[in-house]
Amino acid sequence: MALIKKRLNRSLPVSLMLFLFLALFGAFMALPLVYAVNNAFKPLDELFIFPPRFFVRNPTLDNFFDLAAVMGDSWVPLSRYFFNTIVITLFGTVGHIILASMAAYPLAKYKFPGSSAIFRVVVLSLMFSPHVTAIPNYMVMSRLGWIDTHLSLIVPAMAFPLGLFLMKQFMEQLPDAMLEAAKIDGASEYRIFWKIVMPNVKPAWLTLLILQFPVLWGTNGGDFVYSEELKTLNYALQQIILGGIARAGVGAAVALILMVVPITLFIISQSNVIQTMSSSGMKD
Amino acid sequence: MQAEQMEQPIESTVYPKKKVKVNHPNKRSKMNRFKSELKRGKHYYILMAPYMIIFALFTVVPVIVSLFLSFFSFNMLELPQFVGWGNYSRLFLSDDVFMIALKNTLVFAVITGPLSYLACFLFAWIINELSPKIRAFMTVIFYAPSIAGNVFFIWLIIFSGDAYGYLNGFLMRTGIILEPIQWLRDEQYVLGVVILVQLWLSLGTSFLAFIAGLQTIDHSLVEAGAVDGIKNRWQELWYITLPSMKPQLLFGAVLQITQSFAVADISIALAGFPSVNYAAHTVVTHLMDYGTIRFEMGYASAIATVLFGLMLGTNMLIQKLLRKVGT
């Protein structure tokens, strides 16, 4: 068995059973996604065939051409939804990575009044979901005048607590000697952060990216964005699906685009993400 | 004694702060020390400020406001009116729909919480036995659903109530059923379907944390264990793997618990809002109902506070239990 690592304490029959189990559930996990991919390439007659067929017989790019056509002549062009999604995702993710790193560096490396209390509050905030704060959030947004702007989606995303937590845990592993050497050379804290800490936590950037990106990429505009021209791609997808069977092909094409981007990102960054996650644990 | 006094002037020129701390442990010096520490930490506060301001504005303040508002009657137009425990007594004593929502949420939490946690660990553990390339591939397969955006609408087609639905089509062709079943409109099935899809989506961050944790286990521990008489993988799992992964296990538990109490989007997407006879109504959808449709902000805040208490309480309890494991 070249596929299996030679290790202590392993017996082949049990290994095979476990792998069979894994393969079965792997199929369960993958089938809906495989189906989504297949659907995007099905011609119209195959989309509505009875009994329904799982795999595509005659793959075509028709759905994508239809999508391009719909993009052109709907009231708000679909390209506008694309643009909104990209703006929100880009600013939200990059801002999150920078702000979370800035906050994580002092928490990871120094003790100062309030540092442990602040970190404890961040950990505590991992223990409830944003739904809890939805209503007061609306009031805060309206006070700030951010209702119906992209800011209402971008800015709160920047202070996503999980990112700070992971970044801090990862930065703790940076050798102190490196930072002290820079300090002796006369570098300021900001310089140390930007020139030494940031380049050394690249794996953690990718991790924050992989956690934040799908959330923003898949946002439907939340409760705070009403204007049609500010809505996102996922919102457009939901409208297309609600539009019923006439747009089933286009819907499948949009769904494929929505899902391919984050998955590809994860495939590219996987080893870095795993490296960061190994320091994710909660100590006391 | 004299030698000490002679040393002092020298010491104080080099480390003025230390001298104050050691010789005069009174209030004034504590204040001074605190002040000088604040000054020393100035750069750190500046670095943290942008994140912390946003975090405070959108997480800390809202939690406090929500607690506060839950004792008021407030509709966003008139001034809030203090009602004491009124919202809570209404919630628990006269809101039948809330009771359904609470029951459903607990059912979700009790089923999807532990199951998804176990699944995260089990699959990570098996995947870790594979060679690096296959391991990377399987990781993508299991992790992909949780980041694939709202692709769970695919399940709408699978569970579609007419004969075109994949499940109905399959079951009818094999002769198990004769007529299509309304999977998403029948109270009998809808909760089960939402749980299934929730589980499908739940191998997220904790799954990755477990994979990472498994890869960093010190191999010499395993060898030492073999010398000490560990014979099979189950013993290795119990005596070596689990104890060495405790920090990741704690982290994963927090994420899975929080997620399992927050089921809403999937319920709305699959079962509709509101669902048939509130069969898939949860505390979060109840909160949305009062917060974003009926604008009873005080009442919705009481619901949010109950949810907050449920999530935080369960997390604290489970943390305490997990910390005890293996000590």
Of A26, A106, A190, the CB nearest to B138: A26
Cα gap A271→B95, rounded to integer Å: 50
Query: Domains in chain A, ordered, with CATH?
Result: 68-277 (1.10.3720.10)
Cα gap B21→A42, rounded to integer Å: 76
A248-277 vs A233-242: helix crossing angle, rounded to 10:
140
Q: Average of pLDDT values for B261-267? A: 83
pLDDT of residue B24: 53
B50/A30 touch (CB, cutoff 8 Å), yes or no: no
ipTM for the predicted complex? 0.87
Burial of B239 (0-12, 13-18, 19+ CB in 10 A): middle
**Does any CB of chain B come closer than 8 Å to the CB of residue A47?**
no
* Chain B residues with beta carbon closer than 8 angstroms to that of A5: 129-131
Query: Quick one: which of A171, A217, A197, A135 has its CA closest to B74?
Result: A135
Q: Domain residue spans in chain B?
A: 2-82, 88-324
Give B280-325 pLDDT, tens digit per residue.
888 889 988 888 888 888 899 999 999 999 999 999 999 888 887 6
How many CA atoms lie less than 13 Å away from B282 in the CB half-sphere?
A: 25
pLDDT of residue A251: 80
B213 neighbors B248 (Cβ within 8 angstroms): yes
Q: Please determine, for residue B185, whether its predicted confidence score (pLDDT) is greater than 90.
A: no
> pLDDT truncated to tens, each residue of chain A (284 aa)?
444 555 677 888 888 899 999 999 999 899 888 888 888 888 877 777 766 677 888 888 888 888 777 766 666 777 888 899 999 999 999 999 999 999 999 999 888 888 889 999 999 999 988 888 888 888 888 889 988 899 999 999 999 999 999 999 999 988 988 888 888 988 888 899 998 899 989 889 999 999 999 889 888 877 788 888 888 888 887 777 776 666 777 888 888 888 899 999 999 999 888 888 888 887 65
A152 neighbors A146 (Cβ within 8 angstroms): yes
Give B89-148 pLDDT, tens digit per residue.
998 888 889 999 999 999 889 999 999 999 999 999 999 988 888 999 999 999 999 888
Query: Quick one: which of B200, B166, B151, B194 has its CA closest to A37?
Result: B151
**Does any CB of chain B come closer than 8 Å to the CB of residue A244?**
no
User: Which is more confident, B216 or A4?
Assistant: B216
A190/B233 touch (CB, cutoff 8 Å), yes or no: no
Q: How much of chain B exceeds pLDDT 90, in percent? A: 28
Q: Residue B37: pLDDT band by 50, 70, 90 thresholds? A: confident
pLDDT of residue A51: 66
Burial of B324 (0-12, 13-18, 19+ CB in 10 A): exposed
* Chain B residues with beta carbon closer than 8 angstroms to that of A136: 61-63, 65-66, 69, 301
Give domain B88-324's CATH architecture: Orthogonal Bundle (1.10)
Interface test with A, best of B55, B130, B158, B254 (most A CBs within 10 A): B55
> Would you list the DSSP string of chain A?
-TTB---TT--HHHHHHHHHHHHHHHHHHHHHHHHHHHHHT--HHHHT-SS--SS-SS--SHHHHHHHHHHHHSSS-HHHHHHHHHHHHHHHHHHHHHHHHHHHHHHHH---TTHHHHHHHHHHHTTS-GGGGHHHHHHHHHHHT-TTSTHHHHHHHHT-HHHHHHHHHHHTTS-HHHHHHHHHTT--HHHIIIIIIHHHTHHHHHHHHHHHHHHHHT---TTT---GGG--HHHHHHHHHHT-GGGHHHHHHHHHHHHHHHHHHHHHHHHHHHHHHTT-----
